[in-house]
């Protein structure tokens, strides 16, 4: 396998001005003709066209004449064409492909009998030979022809300019996209689809038709996606002044899709999981995810499509920025504090582990074998944190100025993260050079803060140090200090209120400032707050203003104080999490050393107060539910030393905490669950918050070993009138060995077996279960009619769920590892992207105890020794072993 390097980037010698595509869609094969107006930028160079080996090449013509064989060289990766004219010319290429056999779900493929495409990152090269790279931007015209009865709906990017009947019961449509775009944004859909329609009038008064297409039996499930789309369009105008640029916007939902969704110009293709929602079939979390992803893909129209990436190393240019935008959108639509807590939890549970493992890479990577492996939580979520730091450093207005300049300079272009950086710096006339290492360095910075108050000088001092750990290819010694914003507030010890911050290091703060933004850019730095009349409790890193691991000298009493008083919701939550984390790390050590485990009752008391807060008339119940969360096992694993982790011990320690809390707070949990059980479902923020609080209480109560608990959960299951409550009650039962569990899971299957998306929930709950011998259950589900290895959603639910289940996957005898390797090898021949994702289950093998390490390594070695291993899987496994 060949490694691609950022340093090898070269501009294309040939530009593609305009592309005329024509598809003949037939059951046996599809022919694709592409006619390209080529502009010569550098004469006499050989032209390389990417093209997958699965395609049949039928013809290559230059200016209408067949190109002689000796001027064509075909390789596994594509086609070299030499001896080209020195003046602009037309290039015509004809290929034959078989979408019906395409199980990789890249390029043109069939899902539920309908044709659809997925071209990002490198799927277009499975449709025709082309310069399949994002810096080649052209205007596309697409004609397609297919049987009229089977494929009544024919869609592509842009505007429909012609359509009509053709011979043999066929029909055609011609679509023209007036905007130049790279091939990865091309899309085509042909099928038997129903639609819902609405419209949006833009801020300059243009009417845009909005349509969502689904298979006919699902069309009643698309309304929430439509509402979300309209909200996104309005939000982007209000927040960034960005208006939609065509008269039509289509979304098509398909069941077989490798990722969440795709932002193809004016023809977004979505995994149906992120479109379909009714109260009976989707949870509150699903509703929120749909709103976020519909927004995300829509926002790409500006951040991704109008301004795109020069090369794939720049992926975070569009993804980090667009995740930041969708997070802001969801924050504005819902509770900002709760959204932030959720996003940071995800970062800690998924990105921090990646950043400290063998796949660690900067948000702008410098090399890859398979680009698909770099659609990562680092490029996306850490990338979004980097964008948020500009906002913290420059302020909301400064950030907006930077965005405006970015579009002014680069609209219609394929650019780099460097260009984004310069737009931010130039628009604000400020030097941000110390910020650059965020793009170049992998690894989560570690920051330590020591605090002190000096009554004689009335100063409060923070002493901060930063280091970045070594990551593959970058030793710790070559890592530079990096500029990060640290938001700090100071709480009055007697009232718990924020004091006004007058000045820091001699620089006066704006009148009324209660949160200062410190610019921390040295390895060691001291920040002195002046005119602090008396000792305070500092609230450091408010809103998680930088994606770092921070330790401080704050003591238990300070954290309890912040938990009760901090005006910053994130830090109020974080104080509780810090207490939980240190307790759990201690308990893990005690369990390892055979010591008796003991609960810290101060934490129990603090949690009691938090839950009691739900009785207040103005209680933020969604926040309280979040504050009750105990750090996940994967977050805890991340805090332990490499080579030491025994997942059984981690589980035991966490379970001990849950059980103690549940036992000590049982009456309050029961009372709170009852008080927040609504008589009937409503999809309103207050009702969602109540559900989440109630279900969190039930989750705790499931740790109480008493028969009435399982009975109550089953009864609640049977009475639930919405999917959120059904899933909450099922998951409360899923770790228990009892008749109620069987009854509920069977009833769920009977009721929902016809609905593949709901069946995914049924599969993941079982995959995640802690019942004894669960591996046997997971293996059995592999041949269950509800499972289908060709459908990515099903694989992510069952195999993905299993992989993140510490007890089942990390079973001591290594059978879980062997099973995952078997599945990966099977997937390797079906869908390489999905196979590579599953291989991610092994990447952190060095974290575990020596015996588990050996067993995991053995499976990695077995995989890498397999013939015909895809580049996707190879890259993940190779990097894990290196």
**Between 52 and 638, whose beta carbon lies closer to ligand B3K?**
52
> What CA–CA distance (Å, rounded) separates 286 from 292?
10
Cβ-based burial of 147 (10 A; exposed 0-12, middle 13-18, buried ≥19): middle
| From 258-266, 347-355, 417-425, 861-869, span contacting ligand B3K (CB under 6 A) | 258-266
Based on the shown chain and the rule CB under 6 A, indicate whether residue 52 belongs to the binding site for ligand B3K: no
φ, ψ for residue 695, nearest 5 deg:
-70, -30
Based on the shown chain and the rule CB under 6 A, indicate whether residue 355 belongs to the binding site for ligand B3K: no
| Rg of the chain over all Cα atoms, to the nearest angstrom | 28
Is 583:604 a contact under the CB 8 Å cutoff?
no
Write out the DSSP string of 162-185: EEEEETTTEEEEEEE--S-B-GGG
Based on the shown chain and the rule CB under 6 A, indicate whether residue 379 belongs to the binding site for ligand B3K: no
Active site annotation includes 86: no
What SS3 class is residue 99? helix
- HEC states along 418-436? HHHHHHHHHHCCCCCHHHC
375 touches, from Zn ion, ligand B3K, none (C-beta below 5 to 8 Å by class): ligand B3K
What SS3 class is residue 538? strand
Token pair 């599953």 in the structure block, residue: 838
| From 166-174, 254-262, 426-434, 795-803, span contacting ligand B3K (CB under 6 A) | 254-262
Work out the number of other CB atoms within 10 angstroms of the CB of residue 821. Answer: 23
Based on the shown chain and the rule CB under 6 A, indicate whether residue 60 belongs to the binding site for ligand B3K: no
CA-based nearest residue to 407, from 250, 245, 184, 296: 245
Token couple for 83: 């001896």
Using the Cα atoms of residue 750, residue 755, residue 760 and residue 761 in order, give the sign of their dihedral: negative
- From the CB of 119, what's the least distance to ligand B3K, in Å? 9
CA-based nearest residue to 612, from 570, 659, 654, 675: 675
**Between 120 and 638, whose beta carbon lies closer to Zn ion?**
120
> What CA–CA distance (Å, rounded) separates 728 from 719?
12
Is 182:193 a contact under the CB 8 Å cutoff?
no
Based on the shown chain and the rule CB under 6 A, indicate whether residue 284 belongs to the binding site for ligand B3K: no
CA-based nearest residue to 225, from 288, 164, 290: 290
- From the CB of 435, what's the least distance to ligand B3K, in Å? 24
Q: What DSSP element (H or E) covers 468?
A: none
Token couple for 659: 């059980």
> What CA–CA distance (Å, rounded) separates 732 from 702?
5
626 touches, from Zn ion, ligand B3K, none (C-beta below 5 to 8 Å by class): none
- From the CB of 259, what's the least distance to ligand B3K, in Å? 5
Tell which positions 87-146 bind ligand B3K, by CB under 6 A.
120-121
**Between 38 and 379, whose beta carbon lies closer to ligand B3K?**
379
Based on the shown chain and the rule CB under 6 A, indicate whether residue 319 belongs to the binding site for ligand B3K: yes
Based on the shown chain and the rule CB under 6 A, indicate whether residue 297 belongs to the binding site for ligand B3K: yes
Work out the number of other CB atoms within 10 angstroms of the CB of residue 221. Answer: 22
**Between 268 and 322, whose beta carbon lies closer to Zn ion?**
322
Name, in order, each residue with C-beta under 8 angstroms of 566's C-beta and a sequence gap of 6 or more.
489, 491, 539, 572, 575
Find the Cα–Cα–Cα–Cα dihedral 621, 623, 624, 628, rounded to 10°: 140
- From the CB of 350, what's the least distance to ligand B3K, in Å? 15
What SS3 class is residue 327? helix
Is 132:311 a contact under the CB 8 Å cutoff?
no
672 touches, from Zn ion, ligand B3K, none (C-beta below 5 to 8 Å by class): none
**Between 371 and 413, whose beta carbon lies closer to ligand B3K?**
371
Based on the shown chain and the rule CB under 6 A, indicate whether residue 256 belongs to the binding site for ligand B3K: no
- From the CB of 146, what's the least distance to ligand B3K, in Å? 26
Using the Cα atoms of residue 652, residue 654, residue 656 and residue 662 in order, give the sign of their dihedral: negative
379 touches, from ligand B3K, Zn ion, none (C-beta below 5 to 8 Å by class): none
φ, ψ for residue 637, nearest 5 deg:
-55, -40
**Between 321 and 504, whose beta carbon lies closer to ligand B3K?**
321
- From the CB of 181, what's the least distance to Zn ion, in Å? 15
What SS3 class is residue 457? coil
| From 260-268, 727-735, 776-784, 811-819, span contacting ligand B3K (CB under 6 A) | 260-268
Q: Which residues, listed in sequence order, are joined to residue 154 by a DSSP beta bridge?
A: 190
- From the CB of 540, what's the least distance to ligand B3K, in Å? 32
Based on the shown chain and the rule CB under 6 A, indicate whether residue 372 belongs to the binding site for ligand B3K: yes
The active-site residue, picked from 297, 385, 391, 591, is: 297
Based on the shown chain and the rule CB under 6 A, indicate whether residue 375 belongs to the binding site for ligand B3K: yes
| From 312-320, 523-531, 786-794, 819-827, span contacting Zn ion (CB under 5 A) | 312-320
What SS3 class is residue 490? strand
Number of residues interacting with Zn ion: please give it, by CB under 5 A. Answer: 2
Tell which positions 814-873 bind ligand B3K, by CB under 6 A.
none
**Between 298 and 762, whose beta carbon lies closer to Zn ion?**
298
- From the CB of 303, what's the least distance to ligand B3K, in Å? 10
Q: What angle do CA 516, 517, 518 make, to 5 degrees?
A: 110
Number of residues interacting with ligand B3K: please give it, by CB under 6 A. Answer: 12
**Between 293 and 803, whose beta carbon lies closer to Zn ion?**
293
| From 38-46, 256-264, 723-731, 846-854, span contacting ligand B3K (CB under 6 A) | 256-264
Tell which positions 27-46 bind ligand B3K, by CB under 6 A.
none
Tell which positions 320-339 bind Zn ion, by CB under 5 A.
322
Among 222, 259, 414, 768, binds ligand B3K (CB under 6 A): 259
- From the CB of 251, what's the least distance to ligand B3K, in Å? 13
| From 259-267, 438-446, 518-526, 724-732, span contacting ligand B3K (CB under 6 A) | 259-267
CA-based nearest residue to 434, from 466, 477, 401: 466
What SS3 class is residue 456? coil
Q: What DSSP element (H or E) covers 530?
A: strand 524-530
Tell which positions 32-91 bind Zn ion, by CB under 5 A.
none
Q: Which residues, listed in sequence order, are joined to residue 530 by a DSSP beta bridge?
A: 503
- From the CB of 300, what's the least distance to Zn ion, in Å? 6
* Nearest residue to ligand B3K on Cβ basis: 120
| From 170-178, 294-302, 401-409, 757-765, span contacting ligand B3K (CB under 6 A) | 294-302
Q: What DSSP element (H or E) covers 292?
A: helix 284-299
Based on the shown chain and the rule CB under 6 A, indicate whether residue 296 belongs to the binding site for ligand B3K: yes
- From the CB of 304, what's the least distance to Zn ion, in Å? 7
- Beta strands at 153-156 and 188-191: parallel, antiparallel or unpaired: antiparallel
794 touches, from ligand B3K, Zn ion, none (C-beta below 5 to 8 Å by class): none
| From 314-322, 391-399, 479-487, 579-587, span contacting Zn ion (CB under 5 A) | 314-322
**Site residues, Zn ion (CB under 5 A):** 319, 322
The residues carrying an active-site annotation are 297
**Site residues, ligand B3K (CB under 6 A):** 120-121, 259, 261-263, 296-297, 300, 319, 372, 375
């Amino acid at each position: 396998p060949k490694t691609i390097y950022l340093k090898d980037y070269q501009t294309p010698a040939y530009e593609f001005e305009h592309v005329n595509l024509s598809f003949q869609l037939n059951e046996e094969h599809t022919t694709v003709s592409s006619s390209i107006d080529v502009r010569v930028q550098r004469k006499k160079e050989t032209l390389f066209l990417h093209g997958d080996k699965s395609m049949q090449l039928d013809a290559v013509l230059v200016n209408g004449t067949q190109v002689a064989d000796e001027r064509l060289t075909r390789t596994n990766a594509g086609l070299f064409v030499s001896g080209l004219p020195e003046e602009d010319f037309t290039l015509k290429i004809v290929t034959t492909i078989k979408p019906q056999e395409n199980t990789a779900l890249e390029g043109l493929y069939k899902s539920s009998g309908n044709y659809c495409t997925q071209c990002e990152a490198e799927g277009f090269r499975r449709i025709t030979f082309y310069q399949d790279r994002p810096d080649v931007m052209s205007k596309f015209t697409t004609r397609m022809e297919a049987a009229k009865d089977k494929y009544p709906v024919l869609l592509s990017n842009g505007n429909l300019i012609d359509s009509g009947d053709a011979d043999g019961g066929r029909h055609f449509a011609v679509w023209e996209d007036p905007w130049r775009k790279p091939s990865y944004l091309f899309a085509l859909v042909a099928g038997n689809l129903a639609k819902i329609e609405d419209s949006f009038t833009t801020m300059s008064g243009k009417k845009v038709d909005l349509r969502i297409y689904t298979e006919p039996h699902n069309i009643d499930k698309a309304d929430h996606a439509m509402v979300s789309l309209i909200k996104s369009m309005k939000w982007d105008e209000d927040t960034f002044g960005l208006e939609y640029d065509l008269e039509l916007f289509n979304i098509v939902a398909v069941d077989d899709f490798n990722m969440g969704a795709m932002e193809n110009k004016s023809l977004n293709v979505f995994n149906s999981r992120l479109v379909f929602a009714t109260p009976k079939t989707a949870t509150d979390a699903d509703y929120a995810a749909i709103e976020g992803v519909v927004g995300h893909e829509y926002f790409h129209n500006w951040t991704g499509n109008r301004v795109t990436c020069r090369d794939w190393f720049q992926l975070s240019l569009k993804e980090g920025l667009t995740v930041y935008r969708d997070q802001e959108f969801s924050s504005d639509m819902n509770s900002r504090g709760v959204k932030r807590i959720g996003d940071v939890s995800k970062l800690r549970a998924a990105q921090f582990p990646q950043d400290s493992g063998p796949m660690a890479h900067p948000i702008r990577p410098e090399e890859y074998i398979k680009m698909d492996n770099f659609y990562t939580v680092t490029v996306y979520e850490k990338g979004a944190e980097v964008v948020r730091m500009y906002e913290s450093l420059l302020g909301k207005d400064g950030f907006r100025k930077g965005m405006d300049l970015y579009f002014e300079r680069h609209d219609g272009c394929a650019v780099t993260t460097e260009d984004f950086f310069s737009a931010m710096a130039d628009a604000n006339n400020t030097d941000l050079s110390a910020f650059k290492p965020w793009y170049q360095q992998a690894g989560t910075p570690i920051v330590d803060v020591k605090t002190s108050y000096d009554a004689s000088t009335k100063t409060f001092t923070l002493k901060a140090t930063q280091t970045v750990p070594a990551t593959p290819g970058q030793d710790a010694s070559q890592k530079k200090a990096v500029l990060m914003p640290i938001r700090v507030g100071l709480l009055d010890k007697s009232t718990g209120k924020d004091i006004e911050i007058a000045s820091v290091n001699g620089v006066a703060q704006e009148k009324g400032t209660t949160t200062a933004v410190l610019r921390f850019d040295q390895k060691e730095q001291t920040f002195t707050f002046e005119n602090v009349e008396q000792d305070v409790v500092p609230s450091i890193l408010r809103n998680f203003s930088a994606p770092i691991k921070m330790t401080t000298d704050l003591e238990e009493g300070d954290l309890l104080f912040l938990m009760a008083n901090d005006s910053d919701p994130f830090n109020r939550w974080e104080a509780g999490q810090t207490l939980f984390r240190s307790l759990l790390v201690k308990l893990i050590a005690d369990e390892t050393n055979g010591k008796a485990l003991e609960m810290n009752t101060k934490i129990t008391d603090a949690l009691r107060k938090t839950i009691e807060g739900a009785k207040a008339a103005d209680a933020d119940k969604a926040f309280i539910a979040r504050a009750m969360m105990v750090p996940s096992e994967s977050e805890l694993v991340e805090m332990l030393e490499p080579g030491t982790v025994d997942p059984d011990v981690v589980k035991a320690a966490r379970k001990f905490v849950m059980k103690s809390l549940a036992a000590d707070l049982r009456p309050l949990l029961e009372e709170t669950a009852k008080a927040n059980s609504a008589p009937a479902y409503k999809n309103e923020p207050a009702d969602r918050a109540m559900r989440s609080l109630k279900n969190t209480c039930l989750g705790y109560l499931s740790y109480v070993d008493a028969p009435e608990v399982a009975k109550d959960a089953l009864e609640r299951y049977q009475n639930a009138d919405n999917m959120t409550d059904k899933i909450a009650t099922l998951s409360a039962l899923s770790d228990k060995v009892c008749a109620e569990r069987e009854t509920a899971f069977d009833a769920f299957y009977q009721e929902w077996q016809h609905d593949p998306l709901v069946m995914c929930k049924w599969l993941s709950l079982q995959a995640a279960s802690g019942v004894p011998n669960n591996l046997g259950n997971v293996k059995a589900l592999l041949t269950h009619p509800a499972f289908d290895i060709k459908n990515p959603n099903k694989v992510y639910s069952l195999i993905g769920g299993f992989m993140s289940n510490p007890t089942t996957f990390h079973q001591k005898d290594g059978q879980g590892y062997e099973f995952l390797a078997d599945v990966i090898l099977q997937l390797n021949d079906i869908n390489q992207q999905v196979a590579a994702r599953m291989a991610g289950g092994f990447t952190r093998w060095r974290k575990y105890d020596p015996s588990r390490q050996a067993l995991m390594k053995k499976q990695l070695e077995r995989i890498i020794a397999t013939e015909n291993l895809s580049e996707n899987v190879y890259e993940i496994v190779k990097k894990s072993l290196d």
